[in-house]
Structure 1
């Protein structure tokens, strides 16, 4: 057995800050669905398989809820069923901190990501043209794209070779937005390029082709610009959903978790729309739910089987409950506990919920909540009611919407499912904010 500091370091590194996209993560997978009927991935997979024509699909989930892991599962199961499935990380191509997402931004991301993923799987020379050069010719642009670069994927150190990004070429992005606002030529060119890539990798057209576009749920806005973000998302996902559909490929778009809350009709704009809930570690009243907590511990078993040598089960169950069923927050708490235990030379296993490493981890995790404004706190308190729904708290978009977007964006409101979707404040946030 490793000595305590070494064991704590191994434990720390076994819990990644984020999942890597486009890989087989079945070794770590734990299904949160109560049955197949409520399994979002199976619902989406069935719809893709059964649809006669290519479609567009919406997949929403909070940051840290396990969305990338679920999308990895979707890709793997589609491939096992004979469907060509590819992964695109939107953060490679877009500045996700810019609230002004345009339709042309998203389509360039989709097509650039599609082409790069195909080259990654099929070989660099499989495609003779690129969406960058085709769009440049369409715009009669003299932009000089930077040389090909390696972009990171996830936290594992893996990377993908990409031709260019919109973030690196802001003038080109602006010219494209102006051009596409005045003409449909870019949208025709985009559909044509997608069809040509599909034909290249699928001679004879016998297979369905699916592209999963991840990380769009991370699109955020600086404080004060939330309405600008809402208007952008509404224009892209609600006003122009037909532009997000292609003749030759199906596309699964990830989306911010609050999109359904602030645009209830957005589901009808897509072939299928699914929402990924958090692991249900709490009841509607906020009490512990043993079944959901057991699922969180099962995730830990897959990541580091000897975790009980570091924390006892009751203590770990308490942290799982406090996390609200959000995998990223759960891992973050455990990682910090490991660091503090090593620094404090704590005796292992830690068997008290009020032990110093745990209290330090909770204090460190709670520090960022100091940014909450009075309206944010008032909005947060409303969501502690078991029957609360986001739309109930929007009387005026200009005054009420910013708080809801910020609270969802920072994972301070979680969604769960018992047949229907319901919302609750995770216990850690509830205890920290309202105890102040």
Structure 2
């Protein structure tokens, strides 16, 4: 993927998707600043030197680059010692998501990996398949028909689980009293794979931070964390950082080996008067990797960097500005196109805000803190979950602020 030399190439290089392939990492990856390095190297060391399988929470705001960093981890772990089972819960229905769906999907993913890596013992294989067919009410005829179409057993069940409400209804009813039976079969699969492959299984579960609602995420983690630590393999769970503002988080955190944070990179100083040059250059480096800097006015690039709150947001603005500049028959992106791209995104956020939200955002703007009044008040957590408020860290500690994209609206809110 060569660096863009025109606006259409730039438009196509600014895609809001995690980096996955060797080529994408080679051409587009930018090392995080020394002041806020990626925690992936430390997580890799923890896994490679652990004496037993551990469970980790991987925290960060949506769009800050967690998926890209987890893809880096998958590549960095020693393939001669570890077997990576990496998947996204977006393969399921995140708007109708339940912990029983999750454990079924994890077991199916490990089974799928086992089938590719080793020859499973017949009794373990038959027992697992019969159990999954029983709780999903899938027939042998269904399995045969889809196998003839090139779809594996586990893939077929996962498709039904993600697409069919009836299948989810079946599995939840069955696992209401049999969740321990499923987890036991998951353990048997893991032991079989590790024994025959002589490798440790590492499960990486991505996009749990993208559950449709904050309450949905709270139910999944806070009510079921005791189950989440039961698998007998390494597991990394992406965790919505707004949930750390709930007092229940302390109970959850101590159940896991560690909580690993990918910090949000502030471009402005805490008092908003200065610019963090190291973090500013990180975002500039993202652009420089993907296109010739001559394709954007210097002031336009500065405006785009200072006005966005996270990596995916910044890439989205650059993509939108590139196509706008092309349609304007410009040779480069100007401040006008960046301003229009920013305003479009700003209005999207603004539409979702109630008067109570705006009032709390003004408090966060003034106090640099996002605290709810009591445990039943979730206003600040809702704002963090929607990314209209953001938490930052620097050498002086932690603070919160409103999304930089919304800064132009502050005076309007104050007058209202």
> Do they fold alike, i.e. is TM over 0.5?
yes
In structure 1, the residue corresponding to 2:289 is in which secondary structure? Answer: helix
Higher helix share: 2
The offset of 1:66, in angstroms, is 0.7
> Corresponding residue for 1:56?
55
> Corresponding residue for 1:382?
363
Q: Is the 8 A contact 1:135 1:186 kept in 2?
A: no
1-structure distance, mates of 2:184, 2:23? 29
Q: Is the 8 A contact 2:136 2:171 kept in 1?
A: no
2-structure distance, mates of 1:244, 1:415? 26
1:44-102 CA-partner distances (Å, limit 9, x unpaired): 2222223222122111222211111111111111136832223111101x21123xx43
- Write out aligned runs for 1:213-228 (5 A): 213-221=205-213
In structure 2, the residue corresponding to 1:84 is in which secondary structure? Answer: strand
Q: Is the 8 A contact 2:93 2:163 kept in 1?
A: no
Are residue 242 (structure 1) and residue 226 (structure 2) matched?
Answer: yes
Q: Is the 8 A contact 2:90 2:207 kept in 1?
A: yes
Residue 395 to residue 67, structure 1, CA distance change in 2 (3 Å) = same
- Write out aligned runs for 1:91-170 (5 A): 91-92=90-91, 94-98=92-96, 101-116=97-112, 122=117, 133-137=130-134, 139=135, 141=137, 147=146, 163-165=157-159, 166-170=161-165
The offset of 1:331, in angstroms, is 0.8
> Corresponding residue for 1:30?
30
Are residue 424 (structure 1) and residue 405 (structure 2) matched?
Answer: no
2-structure distance, mates of 1:268, 1:116? 31
Residue 136 to residue 377, structure 1, CA distance change in 2 (3 Å) = same
2-structure distance, mates of 1:118, 1:259? 34
In structure 1, the residue corresponding to 2:6 is in which secondary structure? Answer: helix
The offset of 1:117, in angstroms, is 5.3
> Corresponding residue for 1:412?
388
Relative to the length of structure 2, the TM-score reads: 0.83
> How large is the RMSD of aligned CA atoms in angstroms?
3.4
Q: Is the 8 A contact 2:82 2:200 kept in 1?
A: yes
- Write out aligned runs for 1:334-373 (5 A): 334-348=318-332, 350=334, 355-368=335-348, 369-373=350-354
What is the total number of aligned residue pairs between the two structures?
396
1-structure distance, mates of 2:339, 2:368? 31
Q: Is the 8 A contact 1:32 1:279 kept in 2?
A: no
2-structure distance, mates of 1:79, 1:106? 27
In structure 1, the residue corresponding to 2:52 is in which secondary structure? Answer: coil
> Corresponding residue for 1:75?
74
Are residue 289 (structure 1) and residue 276 (structure 2) matched?
Answer: yes
In structure 1, the residue corresponding to 2:254 is in which secondary structure? Answer: helix
1:281-340 CA-partner distances (Å, limit 9, x unpaired): 122223431110101111222223x1x12113343122112112x111111111111111
2-structure distance, mates of 1:118, 1:338? 45
2-structure distance, mates of 1:124, 1:358? 56
The offset of 1:104, in angstroms, is 1.2
Q: Is the 8 A contact 2:104 2:182 kept in 1?
A: no
In structure 2, the residue corresponding to 1:164 is in which secondary structure? Answer: helix
2-structure distance, mates of 1:133, 1:30? 47
Q: Would you identify which runs of 4 or more consecutive aligned residues in structure 1 move more than 6 Å?
A: 123-127, 148-151
> Corresponding residue for 2:173?
178
Unaligned runs of 5+ in 2: none
In structure 2, the residue corresponding to 1:294 is in which secondary structure? Answer: helix
The offset of 1:35, in angstroms, is 5.8
In structure 2, the residue corresponding to 1:255 is in which secondary structure? Answer: strand
2-structure distance, mates of 1:79, 1:175? 39
The offset of 1:14, in angstroms, is 0.3
Relative to the length of structure 1, the TM-score reads: 0.79
Residue 174 to residue 53, structure 1, CA distance change in 2 (3 Å) = same
Are residue 278 (structure 1) and residue 254 (structure 2) matched?
Answer: no
